[in-house]
Structure 1
């Protein structure tokens, strides 16, 4: 504890600025909540805008795939940029890209402009829209290893706020003022986020010794686009097994969530309002579990124990999903599904950032942030084929089989590592 206090005392004067460490962390949470709220505002109007512009389901799928591919490609590069240029530059760049994203989306709503072209063009800035990984980097840099799972878990509160507030605002503003209104409001909110990031977030949240090490006069100048340096992280001890578990364990549930809008209409026979209530329930569960439950569990159990628990619950939820026949069954299994998703993401992010040096935490979190876009890129095709061929139970069977194999692997091959290279 004395070593941690000394580390913070050494770090605060050189990097924390006027807000101090607690103020910087709080502002980071607020900025993440702002960005997620705007993102879910966009999600709430995008299907209606696409329909108004005449896009068929195939073209809408291309639009979603474009977004996923750009996020997939941009995640690791953005993370490396954050490591080299610091938190202030990373957050400011992300919010500026989001401002352009929403301005183009608002322009696509105008009948006087080529809407379809602008709608696809609005996806281009998403290659630099990575506010959540940048926020995770700040939290990682400013917390001690034993505090990290709880601190990262609190970002789940931001996600829940984004789901609930963004969906509510998107629907309300589009109904009252038109489809362009949520996009205009989101662009102004992201411009505010860029101003707050540039004026209040410190240039670097890494320790003074780490910053000096990264800027040694004799060291070769590092490139943001150095793919070898990015992939090198995956070959470090203790990284690749955890990363593969992160990708494989969450992939089956990711397929289900991608197909959920169709499943809710065809299988559960839900109306649009009922599906919205269900998503609000999902957001509330994520707020409670990731923001409150995961942090408390991380103080009592090791990260490897929580990782095994998340995979085991995935197995049980997969079995229940294969047997469910109505929406009530899904509501009962949803807490287990949300717990597994939250625990998997928080614990693996924490373990992976501890396995790399402090100069590479942003790049590592950028790689982690590419997992979800990867699912969004290949998921619609795979999920659609599985759903059309085998129905809803296949998602439960796949989740059960994949996570049972992963659980056996974790039981026989511990993936925890000793020490902490980040400090």
Structure 2
């Protein structure tokens, strides 16, 4: 199945066929760019925790470092989304890839704690994945959007496997500086792909002059955010995304510390574990989500993902070793993948096509919010109550969200019958 779906007889004219092919080519190139970006990011995950430990960071200070990234991207996400809507896909992806190059160059020369904080500053513009989501959302049909977005998750899995394995080996054999330089060169290659293949804009229809006059042109506009939140279903979906995603977000941002201290993994072993994550995600994103979205409603899949997430939290609260954790990885990646794809699909469909970039920027800011509060909360819980406390909180919170979503669904079903 193509990202846009099959062409119909009505749309089978030579011009439409050529347009479909052009869209497919752009989407496939964007998939490649996203896979490469995730590769470089997971390569970086094989560097930062071990470099931080060498520079004297403890769990608390590493949490501060992660919190700084969350704060920066929390404000950068909405601005970057608006930038993409106003200036087009090529400008947005070029800015994101250029920032990634600077990020890795600063990491390569980080030889003291201050430089390790400074190298995080370019993350304010490092939003390659949201930019890729914007392009896919713009060029895919609404009824195929969830499946098309899920293919980005497949790219995520490829990048996770490649980046984790490559980063673990490079860091073990050549050190942190060389590994960071590889990331810088790779990000520069991604930038060249953007400049060569991605068009200036991917919006199907440009907004009318009246719309343009009525909408703010500033990169960060509270009025624009408020306007989008007033569309039906947007605010409630955002609240679910934040509340349900917080506990699992805490675990994710703390995982590098958990792998280092609780599981006591070496860089290469951590790379293998992350590669295992990637394989599981590739299977789920490539072979499962597309079939699920074609058979079941988005509301049903959202309910399922939250329910599975609660069970994952209960399992994590009771795990004692890496083997037990590997068993929980399958349902964990399933719930995270389905939850992310479905919520992003619902939110982009709830707003006009001219605002998909801003909406996806806001979605990215939710992840940044989780990374902002997650390290502080996670560090406190881990140090004082152990890893089991993080899992128990995920179980309780997601059970509550599950009950809320189920009650809303039953109420809507009763109203429709009446």
Q: Which residue of 1 aligns with 2:159?
A: 162
TM-superposed CA distance for 1:264, in Å, is 3.8
Q: Which residue of 2 aligns with 1:51?
A: 53
Q: 1:252 to 1:21 in 2, by over 3 A?
A: same
Alignment partner of 1:121 is 2:118: yes
Aligned positions of 1:368-383 closer than 5 A: 368-383=363-378
Q: Which residue of 2 aligns with 1:233?
A: 228
Q: 2:231·2:351 contact (CA, 8 Å) conserved in 1?
A: yes
Instruction: Please say which of residues 122-131 and 327-336 is displaced more in the overlay.
Output: 327-336
Q: Which residue of 2 aligns with 1:97?
A: 99
Q: 1:416 to 1:190 in 2, by over 3 A?
A: farther
Match of 2:46, SS?
Answer: helix
Instruction: Please say which of residues 253-262 and 330-339 is displaced more in the overlay.
Output: 253-262
Distance 1:12 1:131 in 2: 27
Q: Which residue of 2 aligns with 1:312?
A: 307
Q: Which residue of 1 aligns with 2:30?
A: 28
Distance 2:215 2:250 in 1: 43
Alignment partner of 1:146 is 2:148: no
Q: 1:42 to 1:215 in 2, by over 3 A?
A: farther
Q: 1:59 to 1:334 in 2, by over 3 A?
A: closer
Distance 1:179 1:354 in 2: 42
Q: Which residue of 2 aligns with 1:108?
A: 110
Q: 1:324 to 1:185 in 2, by over 3 A?
A: closer
Match of 1:223, SS?
Answer: coil
Query: Which of 161, 171, 179 is equivalent to 2:176?
Result: 179
Distance 1:12 1:223 in 2: 35
TM-superposed CA distance for 1:54, in Å, is 4.0
Distance 2:165 2:68 in 1: 26
Instruction: Please say which of residues 2-11 and 235-244 is displaced more in the overlay.
Output: 2-11
TM-superposition CA deviations, 1:44-67 (whole Å, max 9, x none) = 111233334444444433322221
Distance 2:385 2:304 in 1: 29
Q: Which residue of 1 aligns with 2:297?
A: 302
Q: 1:214 to 1:106 in 2, by over 3 A?
A: farther
Q: Which residue of 1 aligns with 2:190?
A: 193
Q: 1:379 to 1:218 in 2, by over 3 A?
A: closer
Instruction: Please say which of residues 3-12 and 239-248 is displaced more in the overlay.
Output: 3-12
Q: 1:373 to 1:339 in 2, by over 3 A?
A: same
Q: Which residue of 2 aligns with 1:331?
A: 326
Q: 1:272 to 1:2 in 2, by over 3 A?
A: closer
TM-superposition CA deviations, 1:391-417 (whole Å, max 9, x none) = 233223212211111111111224999
Runs of 5+ consecutive residues of structure 2 not aligned to the other structure? 1-6, 413-418
TM-superposition CA deviations, 1:285-334 (whole Å, max 9, x none) = 11111232111111111111110110111122233333334433322222
Q: Which residue of 2 aligns with 1:133?
A: 130
TM-superposition CA deviations, 1:359-380 (whole Å, max 9, x none) = 1100110111112221221112
Distance 1:124 1:11 in 2: 44
Aligned residues: 406
TM-superposed CA distance for 1:145, in Å, is 1.2
Q: 1:80·1:230 contact (CA, 8 Å) conserved in 2?
A: no
Aligned positions of 1:234-313 closer than 5 A: 234-268=229-263, 270=265, 272-313=267-308
Match of 2:142, SS?
Answer: coil
Q: What is the TM-score of this pair, normalised by structure 2?
A: 0.89
Q: What is the TM-score of this pair, normalised by structure 1?
A: 0.88
Q: 2:251·2:390 contact (CA, 8 Å) conserved in 1?
A: yes
Q: 1:416 to 1:126 in 2, by over 3 A?
A: farther
Q: 1:116 to 1:236 in 2, by over 3 A?
A: same
Runs of 5+ consecutive residues of structure 1 not aligned to the other structure? 110-114, 418-423
TM-superposed CA distance for 1:269, in Å, is 5.3
TM-superposed CA distance for 1:271, in Å, is 5.1
Q: 2:100·2:187 contact (CA, 8 Å) conserved in 1?
A: yes
Query: Which of 344, 361, 368 is equivalent to 1:349?
Result: 344
Q: 2:216·2:224 contact (CA, 8 Å) conserved in 1?
A: no
Q: 2:168·2:268 contact (CA, 8 Å) conserved in 1?
A: no
